[in-house]
Amino acid sequence: MRLWLVRHGETEANVAGLYSGHAPTPLTERGIAQAQTLSTLLRNVPVDNVLCSELERARHTTQLILGDREIPVRNMPELNEMFFGDWEMRHHRDLAHEDAENYAVWCNDWQNATPTNGEGFQVFSQRVERFITQLTEYKASQNLLVVSHQGVLSVLIARLLSMPAAAMWHFRVEQGCWSAIDFCDDFAVLKVLNSRAVWREGE
């Protein structure tokens, strides 16, 4: 099985530098163009199924990538970005003043601290683990397109490569690119990271 990993296109929150987990934030014109470009880059991939975050920015990206291709799409909460609670759509400069104590604790121990009224990293990474176990439902599939978010995809890559979830920072998943992991019998190989090339059969 090959997993084709795509991060949603650029959003207004990305441009503003805001924490955007579950809060709605639309694609920018550049984000729309990134998704349309990916439609061209991945046009020849024989995708069997699409697994997508429930969040609108990922679903919009998926729609633009697929275009007129009729491929089953499953929206999955396990692929949603980490929920930042009261910090949603806030800038770190503001949090450092307005929620200084909690924000400082989180910055110093992000693996164990929790954003105010949000989702801690341990809970979040366990959610990604649940997604990995659900991949067994697609054993008959050869090509799965996964459209999600920076945090989710970084943890996913780390865990599939048998690295701890905290190793996510080694894998920066960029917008407007595709990555690919070959996954078989609980063993994974990272084949491509952040490509902007057109995929052709035999590659």
Q: Which residues are catalytic?
A: 8, 81
Distance CA 94, CA 92 (A): 5
| Residue 35 · residue 67 · CB < 8 Å | no
Distance CA 177, CA 5 (A): 9
Distance CA 87, CA 112 (A): 17
Maximum Cα interatomic distance, the chain, rounded to a whole number of Å: 54
Strand order in the sheet with 73-76: 73-76, 49-53, 143-148, 2-7, 178-184, 187-195
Distance CA 116, CA 104 (A): 11
How would you write 120-156 as a 3-class SS string? Answer: CHHHHHHHHHHHHHHHHHHCCCCEEEEEECHHHHHHH
| Residue 4 · residue 180 · CB < 8 Å | yes
